[in-house]
Every structure is written in C-alpha cells, then in structure tokens.
Amino acid sequence: MAVEAASPLPSNTFPSQPTKITSIKTLAESPGLTSIPATHTFTPDLPGQVTSVPEGSIPVIDYSLLISGTPGQRSEIVHELGRACQDWGFFMVINHGVPQKLLSSIIDGCKGFFDLAEEEKQEFKGNHILDPIRFGTSFNVSVEKVFYWRDFLKVSVHPVFYSPTKPADLSEISLEYSQRVREVARGLLKGISESLGLGGSYIDKALDLEQGKQLFIANLYPTCPQPELAMGMPPHSDHGLLTLQIQNGIGGLQIQHKGKWVNVGTHPNSLLVNTGDHLEMLSNGRYKSVLHRAMVNSKGTRISIAMVHGPSLDSVVSPAPELLVSSQGDEPAAYIGMKYKDYLELQQSNKLEGKACLDRA
Ligand code: OGA
Ligand code: NI
C-alpha cells in the first residue's frame, strides 16, 4: 500500500537536509528545493488505484431540512443520512448555517499560526498525547520511520476550550467556529441516531455529548516538489463519532469507497463529514468508519481543518444493546466496551495505520 517506505534516494538528490525536522513548512521553504528527502519518500500508488467518481455521486445532506424542514422532509433527510453513513461513511453538508465569513476567518487564523516563527510554534509543542494544545509535524515522529508532508496543530476545544495565544485573534475566531460546528455535529448525530432506530437523543445521552470531546485539528500541507512521492496523511480512520472538515480551496482528501480511492475535490461552501470509529462501535458495525488519506500537490499550500466530535472522555463505548436484538434473533456484539480516553491514548501513541486501533476493540 501507499504508506510503505521506498528505498532511500541517493543523498545527493536533496540539497540541504536539516538534521532534525521540526516542521515541514521550514523544509518545504528551503531555497532551491527540487526533490524531497528520503525521510519523507513513499512508494507511489499503482495506476488505477484512484478513481474519480462522477460529479454528484458523493452524498449531499441539506442540513436546513433536518433542522427546520417539514416532518416529511426531515424523515427523508434522516433516511439519506443513514444511507450515506452505511454506503460511504462520508457526505457533504450544505445549508449548514455556519457563515462563510467565519469559515474563511478560521482558515486565515490557522494560516497565521503556521506562519509564526519556528521558535514561537515550538512553544506549543506539548509533551503528552493528551495535552490540550499540540503543534507538530507528520503524525507521531517518535514512532515513525518515514514522515508525512504535514504540520499540524491539535487543540482541545470542548468541554474546556483551549487556544494558542498567538496569533492574537485566533482564540476568539476558534471559539466561535468550534461552537457553530459543534452544533451542526450534534444535529447530524441526532439524525444519525434516529436513522439507527434508536431515537434522536440516544447517542447524545448514551455518550454524554454535553461533555463531549471536541478536537480541533489544523493541517498544513505545503507545496511539494515531488507530490507523487510524498504523503500528507496515510490511510486511517478517525476516532470519535463524526469529523467535520473544511479546506482552503485546494483539494487533497481521498476517501476509500468500494476498495478504490476517491478524490473528494474542493467544495468551498460545504462541510465535509466522515464517520469515526466510535460510531462504528456504537452501531455494531452498521456504520463503518471510513478510511481516508490526504495527498499533497505542487500547485499550492493546502490547509484543512478537521473537527473531531467524540463522546465524553469517560464514556465507555460499546454496541448499543438495542441493536443486538431483532426479530431475526440475537446479533453478537462485534466490539468490546472501551473508555474513549483509553482509546484516544492508544491511537495517538502509535503509528497511524488504517484501522489498527479499532481492530483492538
Ligand atoms: C485528519 C484528516 C485529512 C485532510 O486530520 O484526521 O484526515 O484532508 N485530514 O487534511
Ligand atoms: Ni482523519
């Protein structure tokens, strides 16, 4: 698969390899960079592994109908949500009510953060997996052999709100963005809960979403001179229930659908939503978390902001008992119960590898 390391390139193909890379931005901005170092080189995809789906085949959910549609429109959307979760694990949300202005401000705010001097960003490095603010490069450099073409800022924004203190206006914008997106996520989870036949407030109550964990992840993928050899993020599924993502007009997200990688493309006015491992566990596998990855390009720097919405840290997530009994007889629970906090620690302290973490549950 695409994440296997290729054999190292001859050392003369890279002009000025820093001894320790603390951000890919600094590396990407090295003067005269025309090739990438062996430390960041992966085996390219075989031809035919990526497919473009016909325009319009990725499910689109009109959020306004879920919130203020007629009962008929609402039940139609609940049905569509269920299908999207089951068939794709991915959908685009339109008419979500988060102002466009706020979407562009939060992207600009994150750009401002990544544009800070290296030393300033290192102040927010964090020491432990569960530290509320963590700036870093790749995914987990302490366990990786080959690194991803990515810098990240991960900030815990709920139940307690954190934000880096620089740039000065980031915190205010991030608070507002986090609250607005969280509201949409909860609305979607209500619909999803209903689509499972569990009633609209089931997930909210069972996983204590009032205290739910919300994690803000800003990703920076700088322009790359050899994009076919680099990887922004490897194939993985997200922890949590739902991730809502936006990006700065440059695409790169791919999702796996029926065994092929599908380019999601750029959808500047939509929220891009993927299902997470904890929705898979809760639904006993009816709604599988979707594998996805991030590609890089040579045309421009990409910024994406992925907002992960999970249960409260102390929730123990296991298949909903209501889903294990049916008229056809009992269905075995396919996952053991696990505290969300323990799952998070497990996932974040290892390599990011497909669904390895979920397999352990
Ligand atoms: C993530 C993620 C994809 C992207 O942050 O978990 O999958 O396109 N990001 O940046
Ligand atoms: Ni992800």
Only one residue has tokens 């045309």, namely 299
- Tokens 């949409």 correspond to 184
148, 149, 217, 236: residue to mutate for ligand 1 pocket, most atoms within 8 A of CB: 217
What pTM did the predictor assign?
A: 0.92
Q: What's the gap in Å between 89 CA and the centre of ligand 2?
A: 12
Stretch (H or E) spanning 326? strand 325-326
How far is the centre of ligand 1, averaged over its atoms, from the C-alpha of 303 (Å)? 10
Q: Is residue 35 part of a domain?
A: no
pLDDT of res. 54: 66
Q: Is residue 167 part of a domain?
A: yes
* Residue 13 belongs to a domain: no
Rounded distance from Cα 236 to ligand 2 centre (Å): 6
Confidence (pLDDT) at 47: 73
Q: Which residue has its alpha carbon closest to ligand 1 atom 2?
A: 306
Q: Which residues line ligand 1 (CB under 6 A)?
A: 217, 219, 233, 238, 252-253, 292, 294, 304, 306
Tracing tokens 């619909």 back to the chain, one arrives at: 191
The parent domain of residue 96 ranges over: 24-30+49-360
Distance CA 159, CA 164 (A): 16
Residue whose CA is at the smallest distance from ligand 1 atom 8: 253
Instruction: Name 323's Cβ contacts closer than 8 Å, sequence gap at least 6.
Output: 196, 197, 198, 283, 284, 286, 331
**Which residue in 102, 88, 291 sits closest to 184, CA to CA?**
102
pLDDT mean values, one per 10 residues, the chain (361 residues): 44 46 91 90 79 80 97 98 98 98 98 96 88 92 88 97 96 98 98 97 97 98 94 95 97 93 91 98 97 95 98 96 81 92 89 88 86
Closest ligand to 263 CA?
Answer: 1
Distance CA 74, CA 62 (A): 10
Assess if residue 38 is contained within a domain.
no
Query: Nearest CA to 62 among 163, 188, 174?
Result: 188
Q: Identify the CATH number of the domain in which residue 169 sits.
A: 2.60.120.330
Question: What is the domain count for the chain?
Answer: 1
Compute the distance between CA of residue 4 and CA of residue 228 in angstroms, rounded to an integer.
Answer: 13
339 CA to centre of ligand 2 in angstroms: 20
- Tokens standing for residue 314: 């102390």
Which tokens is 240 given?
């949590």
